[in-house]
A and B are shown apart, each in its own frame.
Chain A
């Protein structure tokens, strides 16, 4: 039984309201400036866009206020600002290229925001998800296999990560990421003791027992398989990073990170040797400015042009609508950060990165304060994945690391990615609500959670961490039945 938490019970709804308005002003301002910069006039539909975008934001704010009154007040406005800026930039690239890709993104934006609210509303207690630990595993496995099914999967830019149903294409890996996070959280919260058990010691690092290697090897194999069959470097890195970070949080054993790192390096080396497209990526990374690499097919043209754009933007950018972001291939998806860098400058890129970091840190904060282990793992995993994804994308574009085919969450073009990232935001909102809610034993009945007993033994306080590890007996019993059920099926 935990002591009553000392967390301040500021719901934070008023700050969220003002931040929501600020984000709407930033987004709609960016949208207007794009048109002013490129065409010299205000967008014709500014009233309609303002009404839809602002109206949806206000609606979502009200829904959060109602369904999750203690949710972190900064997460939603930050996500909304990122989405709004991305939308303005996609419109900007449309103007440059004469495309009309903004339309779908403009439809998915309010849908995504509402979806986040629906997650918050439908999921009254995030611990419910724990019941779907193994279901999530199956769902994510199915999702990952979908693109490989002939007739359903589509290959775009050499990566087979899309499925196409009735004219609509969808990237299942984005959704798989969420289900995998749920599975990992559910699995690790049960098995963390086993995984944390002392094994042989080597080079002063305590290694786990051999039989507990199984899950990390499995994750490693899955990621390699994704990479090999779907040629998707980015998703593999993301999944593996997600798993290793959650494993570390669950066990607090550095050895897992070392093992994970070694496996990632090993896998990377094998793939580097075996796959020409990965070798090419490394070559582009190291020798981008070399004219031969620059002119080669699948060479460094894109990344070098992206860097030229960012250099052209300098500290404060050319101004929205006044650069040449359209030169860079995929200026509105993989390379949207280069487009932003050109027109909003270093200052703009820093602002975007700051917004991401705010979401990540607020997510991790919720993980630290939430009281149940499952919620901690899920929030930490999802938050860290956002950080990792931003790092891989921006690091790739700026040649900090080799380029991988990932898109910036919430900003880049892509409906499925946008919806899935809004689901992630919804989950973080829900967990943050649990983390910040004052723990008052009132006459009000607790929510009818399946794992209600969590509340009593799994406290978020570090002081109780030891007792935490001694008491999970009934917990593992409960999950053992789950395991058997899966084994039988």
Chain B
């Protein structure tokens, strides 16, 4: 019986050899792949065990990692969580997920970024615990707070940019949420909080400024059409066709001006300046048809429509609708039909006019820091595109100042300062209240800030709303704070 026993021993050895190979596959060959799997919460635990770096606004740490006595070692804590929620995002162990800067600067905050290699090496030698680096944001706390206060109680978004750099000074999406609710280590609590936020019909987790929902722009888009007109050689003082009613070629549909009013003196012609001040529809519908789809699309894309942009979070590209009939193109001319924009995009439009026609790339991260808060890198401003000439920018500025001085945007006036602006009321349907818009910048002669304000579905005013009455005063209060800063 000894021969079969020996064979049995050989079989046992082969079985164990198979196990050794199988274990090697998992623990050595496939280990990097398995460790990178997003379902592997150990990666996140590891980052908790390592002290995650802070997020800083204006020299003040707004996100910290507090030492705690549990599996994760550190609890991510958000000071003034609601104020910055959509910029910082949240870092959640319970769902193994992160959003916002937490996610898109994770390599620095978590300490795995190559720029932190020297520090890691030093920690290894000195035996220090590995720590993540810090991220300093461009946000200005006072402007951010002013924007939150202005929107209080209404759904919407305010974006404030520094025109000559692209720094994002404020980015607000209301309603907001408290990231601490999701960062909690108690997964049952985290889950309950998350479920409640998801179930909330007001969608507090949504960053209205950059992502998810895009909005019909309404009349603020006339600035884009006007840019295309000026770029094609028009002048703001030229008389252009501006009838009271206009039917685009190939349709019986009639386009009216707001309130079915006459544009200018009723002669059927008006200057571009008058058309913008009064926010007429017909001259822009006619201009769009005359310029043609290609020119209209090209102008929109130079402002950033359809382009990918990371601030570092991705900004959902605004949409210039695909091939249209003449009638549809006519509607695009004054901001209707299937145009879809983000508040960030419209702030970029305002910012490029303020910056003499040069659109600077918006960015949220000012500097990255080592764990000892030594500077590792500073974001240097870069030009995103040049949507218009300096002359065009100058004429648009004049017209937008006129809108605030004498037109629909008068509620954005600030004593002693020229404010440039354009209001918008984006009609959606007869059953849904329109969105209220305002874009602009100030001071007009030497712009320090550019702004876009969006209030969803008329906010508190509902159907009675328009951009001038609802969004312009919000812009005024935010600009006032920014200029006094």
Contact = CB atoms under 8 A, between A and B. Distances in A.
B3 interface: yes
Nearest to A253: B4
Nearest to B43: A312
A356 B12 CA distance: 10
B22 to A, nearest CB: 4
Which one of B23, B40, B45 has the greatest number of beta carbons of chain A within 10 Å? B23
A249 B28 CA distance: 37
A398 interface: yes
Contacts of B15: 387-388, 391
Nearest to B42: A312
Contacts of A309: 42
Contacts of B34: 307-308, 310-312
Interface in A333-387: 341, 345-346, 349-350, 353, 356-357, 360-361, 364-365, 367-368, 373, 376-377, 380, 383-384, 387
Given A308-B39, A377-B1, A400-B19, A249 B31 contact: no
A349 to B, nearest CB: 5
Given A380-B8, A387-B15, A391-B15, A341 B39 contact: no
A294 interface: yes
A353 B20 contact: yes
Contact of A345 (B22, B27, B39, B40): B27
Contact of A398 (B2, B7, B23): B23
A312 B33 CA distance: 10
Contacts of A96: 71
A327 interface: yes
A398 B19 contact: yes
A346 B23 contact: yes
Contact of A249 (B5, B24, B35): B5
A324 interface: yes
Given A327-B41, A346-B28, A400 B18 contact: yes
A120 interface: no
B27 A364 contact: no
Contacts of B31: 310-312, 314
A391 B18 CA distance: 9
A131 interface: no
A364 B26 contact: no
Interface string B26-65: 1110111111010111100110000000000000000000
A180 interface: no
B19 A394 contact: yes
A148 to B, nearest CB: 31
Given A245-B8, A250-B1, A312-B42, A353 B27 contact: no
Interface string A141-180: 0000000000000000000000000000000000000000
B12 A311 contact: no
B9 interface: yes
Contacts of A357: 12-13, 16
Contact of A310 (B2, B6, B27): B27
Contacts of B19: 353, 390-391, 394-395, 398, 400
Contact of A327 (B6, B25, B42): B42
A361 B22 contact: no
Interface in A79-114: 96
Contacts of B22: 394-395, 398-400
A387 B5 contact: no
A361 B12 contact: yes
B37 to A, nearest CB: 7
Given A313-B27, A376-B5, A380-B5, A364 B18 contact: no
A465 interface: yes
B1 A465 contact: yes
A252 interface: yes
A161 B291 CA distance: 81
Contacts of B7: 248
Contact of A364 (B8, B20, B23): B8
B16 A387 contact: yes
Interface string A241-269: 00001001110100000000000000000
Contacts of A361: 9, 12-13
A190 to B, nearest CB: 14
Nearest to A306: B26
A177 B40 CA distance: 38
A474 to B, nearest CB: 19
Contacts of B33: 311
B28 A391 contact: no
Given A346-B24, A349-B27, A294 B4 contact: no
A334 to B, nearest CB: 16
A380 B46 CA distance: 46
Given A350-B23, A353-B19, A387 B1 contact: no
A172 B1 CA distance: 31
A395 B18 contact: yes
A460 B25 CA distance: 41
A398 B35 contact: no
B25 A356 contact: no
Contacts of B23: 310, 341, 346, 349-350, 353, 394, 398
Contacts of A313: 27
Nearest to A327: B41
B35 A346 contact: no
Contacts of A398: 19, 22-23, 25-26
Given A324-B42, A384-B8, A398-B25, A308 B3 contact: no
A311 B71 CA distance: 19
Contacts of B2: 368, 376, 460, 462, 465
A289 B30 CA distance: 13
A123 interface: no
Contacts of B11: 384
A304 interface: yes
Nearest to A360: B12
Contacts of B4: 248-249, 252
A315 interface: yes
Nearest to B29: A311
B444 to A, nearest CB: 54
Contacts of B28: 314-315, 346
A462 B3 contact: yes
A356 B13 CA distance: 11
A289 B42 CA distance: 16
A377 B31 CA distance: 41
B14 to A, nearest CB: 10
Contact of B1 (A345, A373, A391, A395): A373
A324 B41 CA distance: 9
A324 B8 CA distance: 38
Contacts of B45: 324
Contacts of A324: 41-42, 45, 71
Interface in A282-323: 289, 294, 304, 307-315, 323
B1 A376 contact: yes
Contacts of A384: 8, 11-12
B16 to A, nearest CB: 5
Given A312-B34, A324-B45, 10 more contacts: A249-B4, A314-B31, A324-B41, A327-B42, A346-B24, A353-B23, A357-B16, A377-B1, A387-B12, A398-B19
26 contacts: A250-B1, A252-B1, A252-B3, A289-B37, A294-B39, A308-B35, A309-B42, A310-B34, A311-B33, A311-B34, A312-B42, A315-B27, A324-B71, A327-B41, A349-B23, A357-B12, A357-B13, A368-B2, A376-B5, A377-B1, A380-B5, A380-B8, A395-B18, A399-B26, A460-B2, A465-B1
Interface of B: 1-9, 11-13, 15-16, 18-20, 22-28, 30-35, 37, 39-42, 45-46, 71
Instruction: Rank and list the top 4 A-B pairs by shortest CB-CB distance, nearest first.
Output: A311-B34, A387-B12, A346-B27, A311-B31
